[in-house]
Structure 1
Amino acid sequence: MALRFNTHVVSNLAKEQKLEDVDKVLWLVKEYRLNPGSNLVYNVRIEGLYKLKRTRELKDLYREMLSKGMMPDWVIYNLLIVGFCKEGMLEEAKRVYEEMGKKRVVPGEGQCYFSLIHYLCQGEDFEAAMGVYKHAMVKNWMPGFKTMKMLVNGLVKN
């Protein structure tokens, strides 16, 4: 019988942005062969890196997760997409969004759609923004007025 690790410790450390301590705790978890829970530990670590705006490390952690055969959930995809957008890495955000669709991961909320639409409009990639908007529409999710106005004005201009 494997012991199950209480992830609240890791979550609280990440909220306090003590990522070095998170890594130490996770090393102990691995050393003592405790079961940390599949995606939850990755979610916590990715969220911590996102808050610290360390997107490149976030991307490495995501790749590590994939290499271990783990399936990212919508929370991880949302953090990746919004993080890449905020750092101006729109091509990377679009790639992650496309991968999310290929793996049929459905966002639990519309924020990743709205952020991606907003930043694509800022980058004047209105066609891509419209494609993302169509996916959000299927779920009856609507971005805010400012984002919609940017999208409509950009499409009209083109």
Structure 2
Amino acid sequence: MDSEEERDNIIHQTKNKKSVQIVDDRPEIVEVHEKHGPLYKAIPKMPVPLAILCCILNIGLPGVGTLVSAFTVLCGAPTMLNKPGPAFLFNLLSAFLQLVTFFVIVGWVWSILWGMNMVTLAMNWGEEKRTPYYCRRQSSVDVP
């Protein structure tokens, strides 16, 4: 948090008989954009029940849920790559690597996280295209 002196430098107060006006020069809107690699972008958007099934398969048998999700790309499930061929191959590669690295626990953890990502994508698909909601701060306060 800002110290009290820094805050006094940022916020200027003008006192009148009946109100206090606070002016804040800090920016109002902060946007954060995540940058994902091609493996993450290859995760298909599946119906939520199928994504949950793939997540459960990934918990029980690492890589199997990812393998099932790879074939959903061939059945028309959209991905952020917008190219079904490379998305299918990336999912096959992920499934294979999860199966191979299962014995050193890395593949199992990766498989569980991959299943959670499948469910999250299935539930939140299209939210990044929504119009953002902006909130305006109150600029003056009445003092009794």
Q: Same fold (TM over 0.5)?
A: no
TM-score normalised over the length of structure 1: 0.23
Q: Comparing both structures, which one devotes a greater share of its residues to strand?
A: 2
Of the two structures, which has the highest relative contact order with CA contacts closer than 8 Å and spacing of 6 or more?
2
Max radius of gyration: which structure?
Answer: 2
Q: Comparing both structures, which one devotes a greater share of its residues to helix?
A: 1
